[in-house]
A = this chain, B = another copy of it.
Amino acid sequence: MNDFTYWAPTKYVFGRDAENRVGQLACEFGGKKVLLVYGGGSVVRSGLLERVKSALDLSGIEYMEMGGIHPNPTDDRVYEGIDIVRSNGIDMLIAVGGGSVIDTAKGIACGAPYEGDFWDFYCGKKIVDKALPVGVVLTIPAAGSEGSGNSVITKLDGLIKLSLRTEHWLRPRFSVMNPELTFTLPPYQTACGIVDMMAHIFERYFTNTPDCEVTDRVAEGVLKSIIAEGHKVIDNPVDYEARANVMWAATLAHNGVCGTGRVEDWSSHFIEHELSAVYDVAHGAGLAVVVPAWMRYVAERNVGRVAQFARRVMDVTAADDRTAALEGIERLRSFYHGIGMPLSFTELGIEQPDIPRLVEKLHEHKGNPIGNYVKLGPEDTDAIYRLMY
**Chain A contacts to B: CB under 8 angstroms:** 1-16, 18, 168, 210-222, 224-226, 228-229, 241-242, 244-245, 248-249, 252, 257, 260-261
Residues of chain B with a CB closer than 8 A to A221's CB: 214, 216-221
Find out whether the CB atom of B257 lies under 8 angstroms from the CB atom of A257. Answer: yes
- Across the interface, A218 reaches (CB within 8 A) one of B9, B218, B244, B260, namely B218
Find out whether the CB atom of B229 lies under 8 angstroms from the CB atom of A222. Answer: no
Find out whether the CB atom of B14 lies under 8 angstroms from the CB atom of A7. Answer: no
Q: Considering residues A8, A15, A218, which has the most beta carbons from chain B within 10 angstroms of its beta carbon?
A: A218
- A302 CB to closest chain B CB (Å) equals 20
Q: Considering residues A215, A217, A228, which has the most beta carbons from chain B within 10 angstroms of its beta carbon?
A: A217
- A18 CB to closest chain B CB (Å) equals 7
Query: How many copies of this chain does the complex contain?
Result: 2
Q: How far is the CA of A14 from the CA of B4 in the complex (A)?
A: 5
Residues of chain B with a CB closer than 8 A to A8's CB: 8-9
**What are some 11 contacts across the A-B interface (CB < 8 A)?**
A4-B15, A5-B12, A5-B13, A6-B14, A14-B261, A213-B228, A214-B221, A214-B222, A216-B221, A219-B221, A248-B260
With A217-B224, A225-B216, A228-B213 already in contact, the answer to whether A11 and B1 are too (CB < 8 A) is: no
Residues of chain B with a CB closer than 8 A to A244's CB: 1, 211, 261
Residues of chain B with a CB closer than 8 A to A242's CB: 211
Residues of chain B with a CB closer than 8 A to A249's CB: 214
Q: How far is the CA of A245 from the CA of B2 in the complex (A)?
A: 11
Find out whether the CB atom of B241 lies under 8 angstroms from the CB atom of A211. Answer: yes
Q: How far is the CA of A3 from the CA of B215 in the complex (A)?
A: 26
Residues of chain B with a CB closer than 8 A to A168's CB: 11
Q: How far is the CA of A204 from the CA of B212 in the complex (A)?
A: 23
